[in-house]
Amino acid sequence: MPPILHYSQPPLDRQLPLAAFALQDDPLAAGRTVHFHDAHNGYAVGASTSVGANLSIEDFPWVELGIVEAGELTLQGEGFDLRLKAGDCFVVPRGIAVRWQHRGQLRRLFMAFPGLVPSTDMPTKPLKIDFAQLLPPSDPPAATVLLTPTPKAWSTTLFSAANLRIGLWQCEAYARKQVQPGYSELMFILEGAVTLSPEQGEACTVNAGEVVVVPAGATNAWASTQTVRKVFCILS
């Protein structure tokens, strides 16, 4: 069973595996460490620490979600000028021209999708996710897996291409039984906390400001005692 990856705080306390994998023709290779690579589904997850960059990338090679943990990053190009700081979450589409700039140290988490199926619906500009936007109601977790009363849920998709969806989700407290996900998901917890209990191994509690990645096939149970709001990045 693939591991659940918990990017806890502070970073020095993290205990994460290392994957013997490097992204090919990576314009951002300096300082990048891959913790998990799913060759079948075509994505890699990890962290990057780099010092100073001023790169002109003419054709960004894949879709990449990033979460800035320290430092400041500027993304500039035709029709966009994004200024990102610690705590921000952003998405860079495949195929765009972008100037990637930062002074001093930049520390970030990433989920890159070099194996994403080509599509005609690829966005043409990077996205900085607005955590505070209002969310419409959405379907709650399936009643068949719930161990508590049905909660209310809200969500919206902000970026989509092929079988990848990125957006915001919020849900009242609930608990569900062990399920084996048929998709891979990165969750950046913005509010609340959730405890994920894998079928094998120790449970982990993911607090606000932390990130967890649940690969497809990583059976787990969910328990939250307060409303959780998160960024989701789902590869189905």
Q: Domain containing 44 — which CATH number?
A: 2.60.120.10
**Is residue 230 classed as helix, strand or coil in its secondary structure?**
strand
Residue-level pLDDT at 85: 98
Query: Taking phi first (over 0 means left), then psi (-120 to 50 degrees means alpha), and beta for anything else, what does residue 112 get?
Result: beta
Position 22 in a domain = yes
Residue 193 CA to residue 196 CA, distance in Å, equals 10
Residue listed under structure tokens 């970030």: 108
Residue-level pLDDT at 194: 98
Tokens of 92: 């860079």
Residue-level pLDDT at 123: 96
User: Around Cβ 2, how many Cβ atoms within 10 Å?
Assistant: 15
The domain containing residue 223 runs over which residues?
137-235
Q: How many domains does the chain have?
A: 2
Residue-level pLDDT at 201: 85
Residues 123 and 197 in one domain: no
Is 59:111 a contact under the CB 8 Å cutoff? no
Residues 96 and 146 in one domain: no
Residues 21 and 103 in one domain: yes
pTM: 0.97
Residue-level pLDDT at 1: 85
Position 1 in a domain = no
Residues 144 and 105 in one domain: no
Domain-terminating residue out of 128, 153, 170: 128
| Cis upstream peptide for 10 (omega within 30°) | yes
Residue 135 CA to residue 131 CA, distance in Å, equals 10
Tokens of 209: 């400001």
Q: Could you tell me whether strands 32-38 and 80-84 are parallel, antiparallel, or unpaired per DSSP bridges?
A: unpaired
Residues 42 and 83 in one domain: yes
Position 178 in a domain = yes
Residues 11 and 122 in one domain: yes
Residues 53 and 73 in one domain: yes
**Is residue 184 classed as helix, strand or coil in its secondary structure?**
strand
Residue-level pLDDT at 200: 85
Output the tens digit of pLDDT for each of the chain's 236 residues. 899 999 999 999 999 999 999 999 999 999 999 999 999 999 999 999 999 999 999 999 999 999 999 999 999 999 999 999 999 999 999 999 999 999 999 999 999 999 998 888 899 999 999 999 999 999 999 999 999 999 999 999 999 999 999 999 999 999 999 999 999 999 999 999 999 999 888 999 999 999 999 999 999 999 999 999 999 999 99
Residues 54 and 94 in one domain: yes
Position 2 in a domain = no
Residues 21 and 61 in one domain: yes
Burial 86-105 (b: 16+ CB within 10 A, else e): eebbbbbbbebebebbbeee
